[in-house]
């Protein structure tokens, strides 16, 4: 089966700096990817998604990059703010079988003042 992993469990950045959160996946058939933000005590909040026919997509202060060759996904947050502190999950559809998302374990983003 596929696996979804994150390179670092915790990422600490200075307020105002850019943050980059990485995610690796193993199922080359995955064609839809989503980044979620989860604050303490809340459900995951949709941030941005990307389909496999794209390699970059931009939102408000966020950019998702997809490298299908090395099966790598990243989330870039520009000018990180205190409100960006949360756990960030990458998720992908596993294709065939269950239609639920497969989630990584998450990266905890900590903003230093």
Chain residues in the site for another protein (CB under 8 A): 4, 31-32, 34, 36, 41-46, 49, 51, 89, 91, 93, 97-106
Record the tokens describing residue 66, joined without a space: 């997809």
What CA–CA distance (Å, rounded) separates 24 from 91?
Answer: 10
* Gyration radius from the chain CA atoms: 14
- Between 100 and 113, whose beta carbon lies closer to another protein? 100
What CA–CA distance (Å, rounded) separates 106 from 21?
Answer: 10
Minimum distance from residue 5 beta carbon to another protein (Å): 10
- Between 24 and 101, whose beta carbon lies closer to another protein? 101
Minimum distance from residue 17 beta carbon to another protein (Å): 25
- Between 97 and 113, whose beta carbon lies closer to another protein? 97
Asked whether 20 and 75 are in contact (CB, 8 A), the reply is yes
Minimum distance from residue 105 beta carbon to another protein (Å): 5
Dihedral angle sign, alpha carbons of residues 79, 83, 89, 91: negative
């Amino acid at each position: 089966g596929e696996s979804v992993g994150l390179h670092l469990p915790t990422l600490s950045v200075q307020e105002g700096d850019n943050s980059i959160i990485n995610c690796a996946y193993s199922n080359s058939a995955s064609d839809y990817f989503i980044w979620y933000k989860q604050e303490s005590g809340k459900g995951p909040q949709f941030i941005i998604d990307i389909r496999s026919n794209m390699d970059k997509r931009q939102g408000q202060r966020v950019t998702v990059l997809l490298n299908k060759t090395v099966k790598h996904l990243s989330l870039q947050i520009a000018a990180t703010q205190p409100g960006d502190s949360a756990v960030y999950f990458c998720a992908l559809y596993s294709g065939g079988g269950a239609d639920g998302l497969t989630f990584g374990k998450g990266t905890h983003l900590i903003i230093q003042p």
